């Protein structure tokens, strides 16, 4: 059985307890509990005691504790103590405690492990789980006769609350435990849950909410999340806070390889032999990478050198659930020696006795790295061990910065976020499904959730209108309204079928359109332009789900890594992708856009500091030190405060390279905007690439003429003009409106808000009718109703998540007057890793019609050559 | 190759494309309309008017602006080619209830267009009859010189026709970009038109359905851009 952190890890030295503490303990912890702790050789931790005290006063509390500190047990102790007492409540009095986790697997695992103390102490507590996988019969039973402790996910809470009997199920709810709150709160799922909590508080006044979290930089955001905001907009109410003592500091090292560090790439192929040696020296190693494609590649590389045929597994979000469960079970059973994983194993569940964590590629953020390393926390007081393997020279700097941050105990600051409008729309309709409501009551309730404390009544009314009729300026749909006003002023849904429809679409996770992948024999596909039709594609073993966007970039016959093997695309039928076993050749690698985290602001600042401090370079690998010295000689290094811009000619083109260190997302946005602006200045830009550290733009025109040699050119333009902050105005609007990024964001908002129904994976598209793409809706809406609430919601999302506009605008204002321009005769050493991204990355900035024209031209020219 | 490419660049004009189907010449417009100069006739397919309100009536409140978008695009094509006849090649209305749902402003926009020319509604599978308020002549097929105009392409092997119904869409991969666009698709005897409506999706030309309509390799696809229309040989497209 997998060991969950409910099983707290043994603290090596026995702690001396004072008599005061003992007396307090007796009051709070019944004798059967103390006896049980004793039988396990454990003692009550001080944070567990603090939580019991808070619970006695029914005070909502945030517990911050490292992995292995018995955090989950601390959360459940107050409930178990309460339920152990004989009480007048009979079995049908509804749920007593809700446990909500972001992962289904975690909920199921915690439930299984919760039964251990319950059984060993002979308590009679009914415990049950409810996730998307729970059978409908069992779900029915749970609603008729609710368990005392229900372990579930945010989506299930929204679903339960949308039913008329929510009042019956939750009337006697006493406690809600929110696990992994740091991962949940700052997301749309967190918004949905926050709204659900306001409803639970209304159904069960006096509700206590316990939040469990890993260490965070700003606990106050999570603390306000846990409690009702009494005076939204004027003051912030906060829960209590308990912080558990840290465990031993982890031992972090950068892996040293005999091979030279590559200039670009993230795969760490150069170090695979050393990685393999490290696996051999440990019992169970977790290898974390940042993207699914890197996971596939590293897995391949390891097997290629696996002379001892160690059992090495692969785990990522695209694999079929069955395959993931197999790997998890093998880890727990101790039959695996290593698992290559993306963030799917970041959270919660401990699958076995991991004694080494290897982070391959850039850590991207200090907090993320710490959470990953926490997976190796075998014993709280033993240091966990981790190796960092940089993929290229820049990543060495980032690894060094992350290790420094970890040793200093510093976390990345979480972004402050406000509740999303599309999620609110979903909640409003869910509430209507559960029964009629007065708009002003619901408004007050919604504002009591911290993420929605900012909400104004006018926006709320727009949301109601949107939910009912679509909220269009053109009042065309009044007669189809989904909400009707009753005589007493309450709103109710106009037809029960809307509730059924709604429940199928609950939740805020909008995957990229996924396609089901099946393995068939080679040659099952039709030829491209011939029509010798082979046997139709059908059947075949299910390999997993794959992003439709990725598949759309491939052609029949292309090969790529999936589920640890090379497969060949045979064809697509409906929503199914057919592949066969490929053999050799150079496979195209899945390049999912998902799973790429931008470099955190905190780490970026540390990297800049490393670059600026030449004395410290001796602690870096020799090849990296050399590289930086060359840069200092040939150009210069960006300092902590200044921004370095280099221009140089190369192969008949003129390059402009900037090093803002603001993360890939902000750089891509900057690249799009600079390209537009350079085009207007007459520089004739051809394209750009960006990575986490900087970006390069290449142009046909000589840049000195366009930008002026250090001062204004004839047109009065300068480098300062190029980077002036007003690019975030009209240029951004114009570009963004047309971008695919915006269309994708809009799609996800439209699905969450309930404008269109989501397509469930594997569900057949019924040909051309259902491909009612949200792009069409987006275009029409932008043309006729540019201020529609859903467009505004999509814009807000894009600005915060996808474009990193805040970072970009901070950068632009910071760099004003601090640009250092170096004119070079050739590419600088520092620019090489960025320039090498050309060809790996899709080049931005190209005009679609120009591309179509080029394609037609070159195909015609080719035909004429024949 | 470079010289050839340069020659093509200098000569190519992609604003509209002249093509010949069974001896009749047509101009394919990047809006998705087809104009026959010889007969001053503009042909459009699959307008799907009132598709938005059809969804709204079932509880999906998609924007109510599709009808006016489509009609505005049609009006622009009319202004460009100044036809004497318009033939709407079926599925002009998304369903039988479109007549009751269409807003009066949109209806008057349609009527204004109809005043200027002869108007023929070819019936489709979505609009098996046309309410009287929408005017025009109604028929199943139109004989057009050597060609038949109908909604659903016929299943006969050798057919000289122009049809709609399939919403063809092509998928081009070029310089690391993938572009998906509605398109005309033809083998010189048969032409299937792109869907003209604002809320119409597309079906990839590699779908099996197209294989039965174009059993021998078809000769070309014309992809619709924002400002032009671009011929792409079939083998230049992506086979998925």
CB A474 within 8 A of CB B56: no
CB B138 within 8 A of CB B191: no
CB A212 within 8 A of CB A440: no
Q: Which of residues 115-144 of B touch A (CB under 8 A)?
A: none
- Look at A852 and B177 and tell me if their CB atoms are within 8 Å: no
Report the residue of B13, B63, B174, B217 to disrupt the A interface, i.e. the one with the largest count of A CBs within 10 Å. B63
**CB-based contact, B152 to chain A, within 8 Å:** no
Residue of chain B whose Cα is closest to the Cα of A476: B64
Q: Which of residues 539-558 of A touch B (CB under 8 A)?
A: 551-556
| Structure confidence at residue A550 (pLDDT) | 67
Q: Which of residues 17-36 of B touch A (CB under 8 A)?
A: none
Sign of the Cα pseudo-torsion (A456, A457, A462, A467, in order): positive
Determine the distance in angstroms separating the CA of B118 from the nearest CA of chain A, rounded to an integer.
29
* Residue of A367, A347, A369 whose CA lies nearest to A413: A367
Cβ-based contacts of A852 with chain B (< 8 Å): 172, 174, 179, 181, 223, 225, 228, 230
A792 phi and psi angles, rounded to 5 deg: -65, -40
**CB-based contact, A14 to chain B, within 8 Å:** no
Helix (H) / strand (E) element for A129: namely: strand A127-130
CB A607 within 8 A of CB A620: no
Report the residue of A525, A780, A839, A850 to disrupt the B interface, i.e. the one with the largest count of B CBs within 10 Å. A780
Q: Which of residues 213-232 of B touch A (CB under 8 A)?
A: 215-217, 223, 225-228, 230-232
Task: Give me B46's structure tokens.
Answer: 């699959």
Report the residue of A687, A750, A859, A865 to disrupt the B interface, i.e. the one with the largest count of B CBs within 10 Å. A859
| Structure confidence at residue A162 (pLDDT) | 96
Separation between Cα atoms, residue B34 and residue B17, nearest integer Å: 10
* Residue of A784, A819, A779 whose CA lies nearest to A656: A819
- Look at B64 and A472 and tell me if their CB atoms are within 8 Å: yes
CB A733 within 8 A of CB A787: no
End-to-end Cα separation, chain B, in angstroms: 28
Cβ-based contacts of B125 with chain A (< 8 Å): none
| Structure confidence at residue A26 (pLDDT) | 72
- Closest Cβ opposite residue B233 in set A571, A846, A863: A863
| Structure confidence at residue B209 (pLDDT) | 83
Which residues 6+ apart lie within 8 Å of B147 measured at CB? B21, B22, B24, B160, B161, B162
Between B138 and B228, the higher pLDDT residue? B138
Residue of chain A whose Cα is closest to the Cα of B203: A768
Task: Give me A777's structure tokens.
Answer: 């809706």
| Structure confidence at residue A595 (pLDDT) | 42
Residue of chain A whose Cα is closest to the Cα of B102: A476
For A99, A174, A211, B169, B220, the CA distances from A79, given in Å and listed in that order, are 11, 9, 14, 59, 71
Q: Is A45 exposed, middle or buried (0-12, 13-18, 19+ CB in 10 A)?
A: buried
Residue of chain B whose Cα is closest to the Cα of A852: B230
CB A832 within 8 A of CB A449: no
* Residue of A770, A528, A768, A852 whose CA lies nearest to B181: A852
Separation between Cα atoms, residue B73 and residue B196, nearest integer Å: 9
Task: Give me A73's structure tokens.
Answer: 């047990």
Is 90 exceeded by the pLDDT of residue B149? yes
Report the residue of B30, B52, B61 to disrupt the A interface, i.e. the one with the largest count of A CBs within 10 Å. B61
A543 phi and psi angles, rounded to 5 deg: -95, -25
Pairing of strands B34-36, B41-44: antiparallel
Task: Give me A283's structure tokens.
Answer: 């019992």
Which residues 6+ apart lie within 8 Å of A543 measured at CB? A319, A320, A517, A518, A519, A562, A563, A567, A579
A125: left (phi over 0), alpha (psi -120 to 50) or beta: beta
Beta-ladder partners of B25: B20
- Look at B57 and A497 and tell me if their CB atoms are within 8 Å: no
Eight-class DSSP state of A635: S
- Look at B225 and A848 and tell me if their CB atoms are within 8 Å: yes
**CB-based contact, A504 to chain B, within 8 Å:** no
CB B233 within 8 A of CB A863: yes
A446-480: per-residue pLDDT in tens? 999 999 999 999 999 999 999 999 999 999 899 99
Write out the DSSP string of B44-74: E----BTHHHHHHHTT----TTHHHHHHHHH
Q: Angle, to 10 degrees, between the axis of helix A740-752 and the axis of helix A421-434?
A: 20
Separation between Cα atoms, residue A738 and residue A403, nearest integer Å: 41
Pairing of strands A653-658, A643-650: antiparallel
Give the number of C-alpha atoms closer than 13 A to the C-alpha of residue B70, restricted to the C-beta side: 28
Q: Which of residues 746-785 of A touch B (CB under 8 A)?
A: 755-757, 767-773, 776-777, 779-781, 783-785
Eight-class DSSP state of A4: P
* Helix locations, A145-235, DSSP H: 154-161, 166-170, 181-184, 188-203, 219-226
B215-226: average pLDDT: 80
C-alpha gyration radius of chain A = 29
Separation between Cα atoms, residue A134 and residue A161, nearest integer Å: 17
- Look at A482 and B61 and tell me if their CB atoms are within 8 Å: yes
Which residues 6+ apart lie within 8 Å of A726 measured at CB? none
- Look at B240 and A554 and tell me if their CB atoms are within 8 Å: yes
CB A70 within 8 A of CB A212: no
- Look at A772 and B66 and tell me if their CB atoms are within 8 Å: no
For A195, A424, B49, the CA distances from A452, given in Å and listed in that order, are 8, 9, 39
Determine the distance in angstroms separating the CA of A751 from the nearest CA of chain B, rounded to an integer.
11
Task: Give me A485's structure tokens.
Answer: 């006003």
Instruction: Report helix, strand or coil for A768.
Output: helix
**CB-based contact, A572 to chain B, within 8 Å:** yes
**CB-based contact, A862 to chain B, within 8 Å:** yes
Question: How many contiguous H segments (helices) and E segments (strands) does chain A have?
Answer: 34, 25
CB A574 within 8 A of CB A765: yes
Separation between Cα atoms, residue A109 and residue A75, nearest integer Å: 15
Cβ-based contacts of B226 with chain A (< 8 Å): 848-849
The CA dihedral of B10, B14, B16, B19, to the nearest 10 degrees, is 80
For chain B, give the longest Cα–Cα distance. 59
Determine the distance in angstroms separating the CA of B156 from the nearest CA of chain A, rounded to an integer.
17
Residue of chain A whose Cα is closest to the Cα of B197: A776
How far is Cα of residue A204 from the mean position of the Cα atoms in its chain? 32
Separation between Cα atoms, residue A196 and residue A759, nearest integer Å: 24
Determine the distance in angstroms separating the CA of A132 from the nearest CA of chain B, rounded to an integer.
25
| Structure confidence at residue B39 (pLDDT) | 94
Q: Is A91 exposed, middle or buried (0-12, 13-18, 19+ CB in 10 A)?
A: exposed
**Beta strands per DSSP E along A281-438:** 285-288, 312-315, 338-341, 356-360, 385-389
Q: What is the mean pLDDT of chain B?
A: 87
- pLDDT beneath 50: ranges in chain A: 1-5, 12-17, 525-535, 590-595, 761-771, 841-843, 866
- Look at B63 and A783 and tell me if their CB atoms are within 8 Å: no
pLDDT class for B176, splitting at 50, 70, 90? low
- Look at B62 and A528 and tell me if their CB atoms are within 8 Å: no
- Look at A768 and B202 and tell me if their CB atoms are within 8 Å: yes
User: What ipTM was estimated for this complex?
Assistant: 0.88
Is 60 exceeded by the pLDDT of residue B8? no
Is 70 exceeded by the pLDDT of residue B205? yes
| Structure confidence at residue A555 (pLDDT) | 65
Pairing of strands B137-139, B141-144: unpaired
State the CB neighbour count (10 A cutoff) for residue A689.
24
**CB-based contact, A481 to chain B, within 8 Å:** no
Instruction: Report helix, strand or coil for A37.
Output: helix
CB A96 within 8 A of CB A83: yes
Instruction: Report helix, strand or coil for A115.
Output: helix
Instruction: Report helix, strand or coil for A552.
Output: helix
CB A286 within 8 A of CB A418: no
Which residues 6+ apart lie within 8 Å of A261 measured at CB? A270, A390, A392, A393, A396, A621, A623, A624
Task: Give me B44's structure tokens.
Answer: 């459009």
């Amino acid at each position: 059985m997998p060991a969950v952190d409910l099983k707290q890890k043994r603290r090596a030295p026995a702690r001396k307890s004072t008599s005061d503490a003992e007396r307090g303990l007796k009051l709070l912890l019944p004798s059967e509990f103390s006896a049980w702790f004793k039988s396990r050789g454990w003692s009550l931790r001080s944070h567990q005691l603090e939580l019991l005290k808070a619970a006695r006063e029914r005070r909502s509390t945030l517990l911050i504790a490292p992995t292995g500190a018995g955090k989950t047990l601390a959360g459940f102790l107050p409930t178990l103590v309460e339920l152990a007492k004989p009480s007048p409540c009979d079995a049908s009095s509804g749920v007593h405690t809700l446990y909500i986790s972001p992962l289904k697997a975690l909920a199921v695992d915690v439930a299984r492990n919760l039964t251990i103390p319950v059984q060993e102490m002979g308590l009679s507590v009914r415990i049950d789980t409810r996730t998307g996988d729970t059978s409908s019969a069992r779900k029915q039973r749970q609603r008729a006769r609710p368990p005392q402790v229900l372990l579930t996910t945010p989506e299930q809470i929204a679903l339960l609350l949308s039913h008329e009997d929510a009042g019956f199920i939750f009337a006697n709810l006493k406690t809600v435990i929110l696990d992994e709150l740091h991962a949940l709160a700052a997301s749309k799922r967190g918004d949905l849950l926050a709204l659900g909590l306001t409803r639970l508080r209304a159904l069960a006044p006096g509700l206590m909410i316990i939040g469990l979290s890993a260490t965070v930089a700003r606990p106050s955001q999570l603390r306000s999340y846990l409690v009702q905001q009494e005076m939204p907009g004027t003051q912030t109410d906060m829960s209590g806070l308990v912080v558990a003592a840290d465990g031993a500091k982890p031992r972090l090292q950068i892996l040293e390889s005999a091979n030279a560090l590559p200039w670009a790439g993230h795969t760490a192929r150069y170090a695979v032999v050393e990685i393999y040696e490290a696996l051999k020296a440990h019992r169970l190693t977790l290898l974390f990478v940042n993207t699914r494609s890197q996971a596939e590649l590293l897995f391949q590389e390891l097997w290629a050198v696996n002379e001892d045929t160690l059992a090495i597994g692969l785990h990522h979000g695209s694999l079929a659930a069955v395959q993931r469960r197999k790997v998890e079970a093998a880890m727990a059973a101790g039959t695996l020696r290593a698992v290559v994983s993306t963030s799917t194993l970041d959270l919660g569940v401990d699958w076995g006795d991991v004694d080494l964590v290897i982070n391959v590629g850039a850590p991207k953020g200090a907090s993320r790295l710490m959470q990953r390393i926490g997976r190796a926390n075998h014993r709280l007081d033993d240091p966990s061990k981790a190796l960092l393997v940089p993929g290229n020279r820049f990543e060495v700097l980032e690894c060094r910065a992350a290790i420094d941050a970890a040793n200093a105990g510093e976390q990345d600051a979480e972004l402050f976020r406000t509740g999303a409008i599309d999620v609110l729309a979903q909640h409003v309709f869910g509430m209507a499904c559960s029964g009629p409501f007065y708009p002003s009551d619901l408004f007050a309730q919604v504002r009591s959730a911290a993420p929605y404390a900012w909400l104004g009544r006018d926006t709320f009314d727009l949301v109601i209108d949107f939910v009912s009729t679509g909220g269009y300026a053109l009042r065309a749909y009044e007669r189809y309204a989904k909400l009707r006003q009753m005589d007493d002023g309450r709103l109710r849904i106009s037809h029960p079928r809307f509730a059924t429809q709604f429940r199928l679409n609950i939740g805020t996770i909008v995957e990229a359109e996924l396609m089901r992948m099946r393995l068939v024999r080679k040659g099952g596909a039709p030829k491209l332009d011939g029509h010798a039709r082979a046997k139709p594609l059908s059947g075949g073993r299910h390999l997993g789900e794959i992003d439709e966007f990725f598949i759309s970039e491939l052609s029949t016959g292309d090969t790529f890594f999936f589920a640890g093997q090379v497969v060949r695309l045979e064809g697509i039928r409906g929503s199914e992708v057919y592949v066969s076993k490929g053999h050799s050749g150079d496979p195209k690698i899945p390049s999912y856009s998902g799973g790429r985290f931008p470099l955190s602001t905190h780490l970026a600042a540390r990297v800049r500091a490393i670059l600026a401090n030449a004395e410290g370079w001796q602690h870096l690998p020799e090849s990296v030190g050399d590289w930086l010295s060359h840069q200092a000689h040939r150009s210069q290094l960006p300092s902590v405060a200044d921004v370095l811009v280099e221009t140089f000619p190369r192969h008949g083109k003129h390059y402009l390279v900037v090093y803002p260190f603001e993360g890939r997302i902000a750089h891509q946005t900057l690249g799009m905007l600079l390209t537009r602006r350079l085009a207007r200045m007459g520089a004739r830009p051809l394209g750009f690439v960006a990575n986490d550290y900087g970006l390069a733009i290449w142009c046909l025109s000589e840049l000195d003429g366009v930008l002026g040699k250090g001062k204004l050119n004839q047109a009065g333009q300068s480098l300062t003009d190029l980077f002036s902050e007003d690019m975030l105005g009209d240029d951004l609007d114009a570009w963004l409106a047309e971008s695919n990024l915006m269309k994708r964001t809009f799609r996800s908002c439209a699905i969450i808000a309930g404008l269109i129904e989501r397509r469930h994976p594997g569900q057949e598209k019924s040909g051309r009718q259902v491909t009612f793409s949200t792009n069409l809706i987006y275009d029409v809406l932008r043309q006729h109703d540019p201020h529609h609430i859903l467009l505004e919601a999509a814009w807000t999302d894009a600005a915060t998540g996808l474009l990193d506009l805040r970072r970009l605008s901070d950068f632009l204002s910071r760099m004003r007057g601090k640009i250092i321009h170096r004119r070079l005769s050739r590419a600088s050493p520092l620019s090489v890793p960025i320039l090498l991204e050309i060809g790996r990355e899709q080049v931005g900035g190209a005009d679609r019609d120009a591309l179509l024209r080029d394609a037609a031209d070159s195909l015609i020219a080719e035909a004429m050559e024949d | 190759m470079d010289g050839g490419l340069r020659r093509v660049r200098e000569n190519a004009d992609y604003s509209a494309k002249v093509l010949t189907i069974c001896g009749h010449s047509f101009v394919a417009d990047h809006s998705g309309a087809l104009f026959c100069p010889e007969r001053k006739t503009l042909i459009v397919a699959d307008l799907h008017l009132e598709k938005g309100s059809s969804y709204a009536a079932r509880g999906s409140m998609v924007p109510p602006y599709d009808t006016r978008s489509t009609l505005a695009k049609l009006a622009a094509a009319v202004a460009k080619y100044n036809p004497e006849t318009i033939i709407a090649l079926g599925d002009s209305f998304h369903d039988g209830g479109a007549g009751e749902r269409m807003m009066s402003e949109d209806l008057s926009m349609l009527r204004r267009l109809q005043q200027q020319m002869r108007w023929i509604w070819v019936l489709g599978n979505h609009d098996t009859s046309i309410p009287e308020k929408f005017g025009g002549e109604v028929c199943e097929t139109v004989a057009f010189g050597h060609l038949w105009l109908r909604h659903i392409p016929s299943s006969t092997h050798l057919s000289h026709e122009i049809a709609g119904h399939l919403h063809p869409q092509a998928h081009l991969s070029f310089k690391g970009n993938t572009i998906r666009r509605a398109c005309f698709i033809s083998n010189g005897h048969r032409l299937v038109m792109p869907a003209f409506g604002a809320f119409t999706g597309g079906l990839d030309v590699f779908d099996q359905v197209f294989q039965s309509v174009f059993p021998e390799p078809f000769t070309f696809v014309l992809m619709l851009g924002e400002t032009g229309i671009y011929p792409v040989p079939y083998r230049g497209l992506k086979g998925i």
